[in-house]
């Protein structure tokens, strides 16, 4: 009997999803305010989160239900390594440690992997479907907002082993719906997905301070005429900030 899990997840996380989308960091990003320090720190945080998730999915391949949700073509760890090398250089592993919010996220993944591994499905759903759905828009914003050369610093958004994201998402949701789960388990997964959104919001809130300072600097530059005298461009070496103007 179908659990209709994808449908239940979509309906049961609408409020949490909206809160995540409206986090200050995300709203600024969507409007084109891209700041190098906070952006590369976000990628670093994601590296730890995806590494934890993907390691668990390898370990859980014998699980009768989780094995059905193991799609290696979704893995982001390798792509994040490419981006972190671009932004931080080859010594990036020495420069990154999990932030406080990231550590909370990692602790939760570790906890449920031991006590109730089926709940990992909630974290897979929250992260991977979001990446597939909004990734191309965010990629364009990052490229234009930081003057990135084509193909540099945005590997995170490239799913090279997925030819058609729309078709893949349909298959993924159908796989979720076809999982045989009782109502109690479905409810626990939906609750966990809401927690996953909360954990992601925690990552964004940590970074808002850097972004607010950068936006303040941009406003100051504009008011003092600095922005008219010197185009603000960014390179991995300089770490300057620029703003993307929305297109019509």
Q: pLDDT by residue (tens digit) across 205-219?
A: 999 876 555 554 445
Give the confidence band of 11 by pLDDT, cuts at 50, 70, 90. Answer: very high
Residues 78-121: tens digit of each pLDDT: 999 999 999 999 999 999 999 999 999 999 999 999 999 999 99
Mean pLDDT of the 3-11 span: 95
Helices (H), 179-237: 183-223, 226-229
What tokens appear for 154 in the block? 């945005």
pLDDT at 32: 81
At the second CATH level, the architecture of 5-243 is: Up-down Bundle (1.20)
Contact (Cβ atoms closer than 8 angstroms) between residue 222 and residue 33: no
Sign of CA dihedral 135, 139, 140, 142: positive
Residues 124-169: tens digit of each pLDDT: 999 999 999 888 888 889 998 888 988 799 999 999 999 999 999 9
The total number of residues shown for the chain amounts to: 248
């Amino acid at each position: 009997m179908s659990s209709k899990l994808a449908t239940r997840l979509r309906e049961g996380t609408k409020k949490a999803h909206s809160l995540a989308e409206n986090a200050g960091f995300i709203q600024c990003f969507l409007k084109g305010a891209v700041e190098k320090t906070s952006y590369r720190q976000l990628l670093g945080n994601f590296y730890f989160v995806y590494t934890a998730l993907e390691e668990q999915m390898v370990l859980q391949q014998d699980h009768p239900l989780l094995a059905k949700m193991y799609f290696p073509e979704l893995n982001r760890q390798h792509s994040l390594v490419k981006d972190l090398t671009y932004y931080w250089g080859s010594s990036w592993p020495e420069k990154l440690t999990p932030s406080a919010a990231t550590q909370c996220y990692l602790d939760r993944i570790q906890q449920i992997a031991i006590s109730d591994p089926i709940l990992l499905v909630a974290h897979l759903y929250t992260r991977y479907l979001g990446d597939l759905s909004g990734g191309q828009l965010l990629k364009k914003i990052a490229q234009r907002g930081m003057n990135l050369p084509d193909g540099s610093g945005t590997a995170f958004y490239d799913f090279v082993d997925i030819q058609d994201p729309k078709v893949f998402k349909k298959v993924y949701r159908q796989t979720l719906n076809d999982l045989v789960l009782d109502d109690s388990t479905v409810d626990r997964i939906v609750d966990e997905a809401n927690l996953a959104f909360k954990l992601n919001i925690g990552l964004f809130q940590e970074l808002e301070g850097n972004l607010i300072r950068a936006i303040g600097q941009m406003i100051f530059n504009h008011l003092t005429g600095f922005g008219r005298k010197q185009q603000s461009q960014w390179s991995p070496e300089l770490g300057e900030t620029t703003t993307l103007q929305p297109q019509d």
